[in-house]
């Protein structure tokens, strides 16, 4: 489970975020490319855009389920 206290600083404000436990597997970026971006220099993904519609929300939820 993601830790609110460990959010990466690049996330935009909102309900969705990536924390410092990200291993940069690229799953979220390929599953929800409108919402997640990878910072390859620092080795993590982050939320660049909060879901704005049902399709984006479904993609973000799918990405979250894929991370175990």
Q: Which pLDDT tens digit goes with each residue over 11-64?
A: 999 999 999 999 999 999 999 999 999 999 999 999 999 999 999 999 999 999
Domains of the chain (ranges, CATH numbers): 4-66 (3.30.70)
Instruction: Say whether pTM exceeds 0.85.
Output: yes
Confidence tier at 66 by pLDDT (50, 70, 90): confident
3-state SS, 3-67, equals CHHHECCCCCCCCCCCECCCCCCCHHHHHCCCCEEEECCCCEEEECCCCCCHHHHHHHHHHHHHC
């Amino acid at each position: 489970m993601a830790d609110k206290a460990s959010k990466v600083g690049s996330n935009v404000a909102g309900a969705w975020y990536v924390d410092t436990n990200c291993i940069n597997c690229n799953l979220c970026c390929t599953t929800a490319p409108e919402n997640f971006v990878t910072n390859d220099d620092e080795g993590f993904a982050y939320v660049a855009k909060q879901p704005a519609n049902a399709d984006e929300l479904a993609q973000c939820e799918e990405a979250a389920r894929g991370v175990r």
